[in-house]
């Protein structure tokens, strides 16, 4: 594996770092406190090409590789994990799905606007009774001439409130399990679609999450992606890429925790010397550094395999499982190093700990990632 970044990759990393410094770090604590969506910042990220990074330019994207996407995402997540998940969902779940599975008309109509940031997308798979067991959904689309009529409730939809377009997975045939699931493009203005209240969350409070209610929602047949029954494989195939994005969001939180901890260990004095001079603190810093680097290597391996169009589902699951644990551990240690100061909102480090937790839950819990890894191991020849 080549560990050197190309000039283009270094430039993207720097652009993201500068943008995060100038536009995401200011106000991040207040946005978290008020659970305020970073609307202006997301608009600017679209202008910079960060919302459709891996989509070719002909479809409104930036035409970059997955490593570049990870480099930019890490910088964004270091500053604001809420902005990072908005970016991850639009890139890896919405644009990537449309690019891989949608037809030419759908790409022209929707992908170009989503990849350029003109529109924002959401991905809706989960339902109240089907989280990890994703295929056990009930929302049903019944065909009626040139339309489908959709009824049901989806939940935990990231970008749910702010999105213009929702990629929806729902049943089109009963009693055939996952083979009855299809994928649709839903516009927010479609009659019969309504959005629930903005959920009040522990972390990533700047991103919005809500339920979606489909009450005889009328959707044209041409908005179905692929054939009926292909929806579950489309969703799982897309989530492999999504997990690289979320792993990188977790990495950003962990890297920020390490950086903040090192700075503080140098400046905070106790017993007459900087706390970084104590073995107990040094050990924490060293372990954090090892784990942050290991997480980055796992992520970049998965990204590289993806760019080479090789199977990467197991590697993405490994990266997400590991990086999310590293984010949780590193952010907790960061608060510990900051002590009482870290427990206060003003430092912003307690936010890292709250933001980290979701990375072990969404886009497949850590336990689901282990299931995916173990199944792949047992199936390997
Ligand atoms: N790509 C394509 N197809 C795949 C696949 C993949 N990665 N993984 C499995 N499949 C195929 C299987 O081969 C199988 O097809 P065949 O019968 O033809 O072989 C079919 O899909 C069904 O697979 P399984 O029998 O393995 O399905 P399962 O019901 O046991 O579920 C699971 C597998 C991995 C547990 C899956 O349900 C899962 O990933 N659950 C977690 C759900 C999840 O990640 N939700 C995230 C919601 S979105 C979100 O969180 C976004 C956000 O807010 C930020």
Q: Which residues contact residue 374 at a Cβ distance below 8 angstroms, ignoring those fewer than 6 apart?
A: none
One domain for residues 237 and 373: yes
Predicted confidence pLDDT, tens digits, the chain (381 residues): 778 999 999 999 999 999 999 999 999 999 999 999 999 999 999 999 999 999 999 999 999 999 999 999 999 999 999 999 999 999 999 999 999 999 999 999 999 999 999 999 999 999 999 999 999 999 999 999 999 999 999 999 999 999 999 999 999 999 999 999 999 999 999 999 999 999 999 999 999 999 999 999 999 999 999 999 999 999 999 999 999 999 999 999 999 999 999 999 999 999 999 999 999 999 999 999 999 999 999 999 999 999 999 999 999 999 999 999 999 999 999 999 999 999 999 999 999 999 999 999 999 999 999 999 999 999 987
Q: Is 36 a catalytic residue?
A: no
One domain for residues 90 and 205: no
Residue 280: predicted pLDDT: 98
> Pairing relation of β-strands 209-220 and 147-158?
antiparallel
Asked if residue 1 belongs to a domain, the reply is no
For residue 82, what is the domain's CATH number? Answer: 1.10.540.10
d(CA 257, CA 342): 11
One domain for residues 340 and 212: no
For residue 318, what is the domain's CATH number? Answer: 1.20.140.10
Minimal-distance CA residue to ligand 1 atom 11: 233
Contact indicator for 209, 157 with CB cutoff of 8 Å: yes
Residue 3: predicted pLDDT: 83
Asked if residue 244 belongs to a domain, the reply is yes
Q: Is the CB of 364 under 6 A from ligand 1?
A: yes
Residue 232: predicted pLDDT: 98
Residue 125: predicted pLDDT: 98
3 state SS of 185: strand
Q: How far does residue 233's CA lie from ligand 1's centre (Å)?
A: 7
One domain for residues 205 and 283: no
Q: Is the CB of 363 under 6 A from ligand 1?
A: yes
Q: How far does residue 155's CA lie from ligand 1's centre (Å)?
A: 18
* Residue of 363, 367, 370, 379 marked catalytic: 363
* Enclosing H/E stretch for 346: none
For residue 141, what is the domain's CATH number? Answer: 2.40.110.10
- Total structural domains in the chain? 3
Contact indicator for 53, 69 with CB cutoff of 8 Å: yes
Q: How far does residue 292's CA lie from ligand 1's centre (Å)?
A: 28
Q: What angle do CA 138, 142, 148 make, to 5 degrees?
A: 115
Domain of residue 295, residue span: 232-379
Q: What is the pTM of this model?
A: 0.98
Q: Is the CB of 109 under 6 A from ligand 1?
A: no
Asked if residue 185 belongs to a domain, the reply is yes
One domain for residues 308 and 324: yes
Domain finish residue from 87, 119, 151: 119
Residue 380: predicted pLDDT: 82
Residue 34: predicted pLDDT: 98
Q: Is the CB of 94 under 6 A from ligand 1?
A: no
């Amino acid at each position: 594996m080549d560990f050197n970044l190309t000039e283009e990759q270094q430039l993207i990393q720097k652009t993201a770092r500068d943008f995060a410094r100038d536009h995401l770090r200011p106000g991040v604590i207040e946005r978290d406190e008020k659970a305020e969506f970073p609307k202006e910042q997301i608009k600017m990220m679209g202008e910079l090409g960060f919302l459709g990074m891996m989509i070719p330019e002909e479809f409104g994207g930036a035409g970059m590789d997955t490593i570049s996407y990870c480099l930019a995402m890490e910088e964004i997540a270091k500053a604001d994990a809420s902005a990072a998940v908005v970016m991850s969902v639009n890139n890896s779940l919405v644009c990537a799905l449309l690019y891989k599975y949608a037809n030419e008309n759908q790409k022209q109509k929707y992908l170009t606007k989503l990849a350029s940031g003109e529109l924002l997308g959401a991905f809706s798979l989960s339902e109240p009774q089907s989280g990890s067991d994703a295929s056990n959904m009930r929302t049903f689309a019944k065909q009626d001439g040139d339309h489908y009529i959709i009824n049901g409730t989806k939940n935990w939809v990231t970008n749910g409130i702010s999105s213009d377009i929702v990629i929806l997975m729902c049943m089109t045939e009963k009693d055939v399990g996952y083979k009855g699931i299809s994928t649709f493009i839903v516009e927010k203005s479609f009659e019969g679609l309504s959005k629930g209240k903005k959920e009040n969350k522990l972390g990533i409070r700047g991103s919005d999450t809500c339920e979606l209610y489909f009450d005889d929602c009328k959707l044209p047949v041409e908005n179905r992606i692929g054939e009926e029954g292909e929806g579950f494989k489309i969703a799982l195939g897309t989530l492999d890429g999504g997990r690289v994005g979320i792993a990188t969001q977790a990495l950003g939180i962990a890297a920020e925790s390490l950086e903040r901890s090192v700075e503080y260990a140098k400046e905070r004095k106790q017993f007459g010397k900087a706390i970084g001079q104590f073995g107990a603190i040094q050990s924490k810093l060293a372990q954090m550094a090892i784990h942050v680097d290991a997480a980055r290597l796992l992520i970049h391996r998965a990204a590289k395999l993806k760019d080479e169009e090789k199977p990467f589902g197991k590697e993405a699951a490994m990266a997400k499982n590991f990086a999310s644990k590293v984010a949780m551990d590193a952010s907790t240690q960061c608060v510990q190093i900051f002590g009482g100061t870290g427990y206060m909102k003003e430092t912003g480090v307690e936010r890292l700990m709250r933001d980290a937790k979701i990375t072990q839950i969404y886009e497949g819990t850590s336990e689901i990632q282990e299931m995916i890894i173990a199944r792949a191991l047992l199936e390997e020849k």
